[in-house]
Amino acid sequence: MMRQYELVERVAGYIDKPNEALLNKAYVYAMQKHGEQKRASGDPYFSHPLEVAAILTDLHLDEETIAVALLHDTIEDTDATRREIDELFGERIGHLVEGLTKLKRLDLVSAQAKQAENLRSLLLAISDDIRVLLVKLSDRLHNMRTLGAMRPDKCKRIATETMEIYAPLAGRIGMQDLRDELEKLSFKYIYPDAYTAVIGHLEELAEGNKSLTEEISRTLEEKLAEFHIKATVSSRQKKPYSVFRKMESKGVTFEQLSDIYGFRIIVDSIEDCYSALGVVHREWAMVPGRFKDYISVPKQNDYRSIHTTVVGPAGQRVELQIRTKRMHDIAEFGIAAHASYKDGDNIVLESNAYESLRKTIEHLAEGDNAEEFMEHTKLELFFDQVFCFTPKGRIIALPNGATPIDFAYAVHTDIGNTCIGCKLNGKIMPVITKLQNGDEVEIIRSKKQTPPAAWENVVVTGKARSSIRRASRQSIRKQYSTLGARILERAFDKAAKSYSHELLEAALPRLARQSLEDVLAEVGRNEMSATNVIKAIYPDFEVDENTTPFKEPRQSEEGSDKEPSGRIPIRGINSDLPVSFSREGGAVPGDNIVGILVPGEGITIYPAQSKTLAKFKDDGANLIDVRWDIEEASKERFPASIRVLVENKPGVLALVANVIAQNDGNIQNLSMKVLVDEFMEMEIDIDVWGLTHLTQITKQLNNKSITTKVERIIG
Question: Active-site residues: which are they?
Answer: 76-77
DSSP of 45-84? TTHHHHHHHHHHHHTT--HHHHHHHHHTTHHHHSS--HHH
In a 10 Å sphere around its CB, with 0-12 CB exposed, 13-18 middle and 19+ buried, how is residue 156 labelled? middle
Residue at 202: amino acid letter: L
Instruction: Tell which residue, 663, 662, 639, 661, has the closest CA to residue 589.
Output: 639
What is d(CA 485, CA 524) in angstroms, rounded to the nearest whole number? 8
Residue at 74: amino acid letter: T
Instruction: Tell which residue, 136, 240, 234, has the closest CA to residue 181.
Output: 240
Q: CA dihedral defined by 341, 343, 349, 354, rounded to 10 degrees? A: -120
Phi and psi at residue 526, to the nearest 5°? 65, 30
| Alpha carbon distances (Å) from 341 to 17, 92, 133, 136 | 15, 20, 19, 22
What is d(CA 73, CA 591) in angstroms, rounded to the nearest whole number? 73
Bridging pattern class, strands 666-676 and 679-688: antiparallel
The residues, any chain, with a CB within 8 Å of residue 102's CB and separated by 6 or more, are: 76, 118
What is d(CA 409, CA 148) in angstroms, rounded to the nearest whole number? 44
What is d(CA 298, CA 351) in angstroms, rounded to the nearest whole number? 12
What is d(CA 370, CA 106) in angstroms, rounded to the nearest whole number? 12
In contact, 638 and 659? CB cutoff 8 Å: no
String of b and e for 674-692 (b: at least 16 CB within 10 Å)? eeeeeebbbebbbbbbbbe
The residues, any chain, with a CB within 8 Å of residue 491's CB and separated by 6 or more, are: 530, 531, 533, 534, 549
Instruction: Tell which residue, 168, 193, 238, 567, has the closest CA to residue 381.
Output: 168
- DSSP letter at 554? P
Instruction: Tell which residue, 368, 366, 338, has the closest CA to residue 353.
Output: 338
Beta-ladder partners of 647: 679
Which pairs from 674-680 meet CB under 8 Å and 24+ separation?
A: 674/648, 675/645, 677/648, 678/647, 678/648, 679/645, 679/646, 679/647, 679/648, 679/708, 680/645, 680/646, 680/647, 680/648, 680/652
Provide the greatest CA pair distance for the chain. 102
The residues, any chain, with a CB within 8 Å of residue 510's CB and separated by 6 or more, are: 536, 539
| Alpha carbon distances (Å) from 69 to 7, 47, 100, 503 | 12, 12, 9, 62
What is d(CA 343, CA 331) in angstroms, rounded to the nearest whole number? 23
